[in-house]
Amino acid sequence: MTSAAPPDPTPPTSDRPEEEERYLTLSEHLGELRRRLTICVGAVVVGIIVAAYFGNDLILFLKKPGEEASPDFKLIFLEPFENFVVYFRVSLLGGLVLAMPVIVWQVLGFLSPGLRGRERTWLWGTALGAGGLFLTGVLFAYYVALPPALDFLLNFGDDYAEPTIRIGSYMDFVTRLLFWTGVSFEMPIVIMYLARFRVVTTTQLIHWWRLAFVGAFIIAAIVTPSIDPVTQTLVAGPIIILYIIGIGLAFLVQPRRAAQT
């Protein structure tokens, strides 16, 4: 009499899908990084092409606050390639704004192996949120921070000098303000992921509120070209609010300690 052979042992199951359990080799990591960098560069190039198509309109748009700040405002160029460089700089800024959601998506996608399945669903929302925050920062700088800054700088000493400014200097001044203000508005996203990866905790962020207030004014002093307190406060105030929003997001996403059994 023969007995049936015992069934094959059932392989252990995992709570995470098989593809999430697989670890990439160093060469695979480098290949993944190269692929995502290529996508980011491609997105920036496409954004630059789109922005370059509207380049003249963007330059006139950036010139408008100076004209409103001073009736004698006039831009000049002193070098043959200066207008071309300005056109490219403005197109580059526009391309970065358009490509920002793609860049954030690729960065988070590269980090996604460290996230669980449910957490990966945040990537789309985070990418869109980061792009929206960057654009909000650029618009805030243009409509709120830039007018009083230009009003102070262009009308200071107008009794003995008229503002005839090189277009390269003016556009460098404006695009730097817009870009870095947009970057500073990414603070809630950065804080959220620092908390998610256990770099900081909500308790630490709350205890650091004094440093955050001082840091907000330091960032405002670096980002804004004007030294008057009104402009500094206009920029520092939203940064403080963004820090508080970041604390709230950190509380929602930070890992919870497992219950004691």
**21-25, 52-56, 80-84: which range is least confident on average?**
21-25
Residues 186-196, mean pLDDT to the nearest whole number: 85
Residues 26-55, mean pLDDT to the nearest whole number: 87
pLDDT on residue 96: 85
Residue scoring higher pLDDT (159 or 2): 159
Q: Amino acid identity, residue 122?
A: W
pLDDT on residue 6: 47
Residue 120's pLDDT band (cuts 50, 70, 90) = low
pLDDT on residue 23: 58
Cross-strand pairs, 165 = 75
Residue scoring higher pLDDT (60 or 26): 60
Q: Which residues lie below 8 Å from residue 141, measured CB to CB, with a gap of 6+?
A: 177, 178, 181, 182, 223, 235
Please tell me the pTM assigned to this model: 0.73
Residue scoring higher pLDDT (63 or 25): 63
Q: How distant, in Å, are the alpha carbons of 30, 125, 129, 242 from that of 36?
A: 10, 19, 20, 29
User: Are 146 and 177 a contacting pair, CB within 8 Å?
Assistant: yes
pLDDT on residue 232: 77
**pLDDT tens for residues 56-73?**
999 999 999 888 888 778
% of the chain beyond a pLDDT of 90: 10
**Integer Cα distance of 158 and 164 in angstroms:** 11
Residue 117's pLDDT band (cuts 50, 70, 90) = low
**pLDDT tens for residues 126-175?**
777 877 888 888 898 899 888 888 887 787 766 677 778 889 889 888 88
Residue 97: left if φ>0, alpha if ψ -120 to 50, beta else—which one? alpha
Residue 164: strand, helix, or coil: strand
Cross-strand pairs, 166 = 76
pLDDT on residue 49: 94
User: Are 234 and 184 a contacting pair, CB within 8 Å?
Assistant: no
pLDDT on residue 78: 85
